[in-house]
Amino acid sequence: RLNLQYTVLSKRRLLKLVNNHYVRGWNDPRMPTISGMRRRGYTKEILNTFCNDLGATRAMNVIEMEKLYNDARNYLSDTSRRCMAVLEPIEVTISNWAEHDSKPETLTFSVQNSPTDASMGEHSVTL
């Protein structure tokens, strides 16, 4: 039996949420169902890894949600490219910029797309 911390997994209680239209159905991303979790962004590999790490048991265990988050983070860190964005830019003045660079207008350097896998390539960042 799988019991997640802070999560209602009773089919009887979840059915009330669906029948009273508090959620849009069994595949609503707020529902703790497999289809709901898939719509939330968890892949089948993440869910399989999570269940395999827990194993089968007859004892009543309450599993922390951080375990699921950690499995998702570990899987996605190996397969995802990193992206950077400046959502709220601020103006910064560097007073000794000209001392360190011959062309004081811009500085361009390359960054890997994944810190662990160099085969994912790299992109350039300009300051």
User: pTM here?
Assistant: 0.71
User: Can you give the pLDDT at residue 74?
Assistant: 92
pLDDT tens-digit profile of 73-98?
999 988 888 888 889 999 988 787 77
Region 103-110 average pLDDT: 74
Binning the chain into helix, strand and coil, the percentages to the nearest 5 are: 40, 10, 50
DSSP 102: S
pLDDT tens-digit profile of 5-43?
889 889 999 999 999 999 999 999 999 999 999 999 999
pLDDT over 90 (residue 70): yes
Q: Cα–Cα distance between 14 and 31 in angstroms, integer?
A: 8
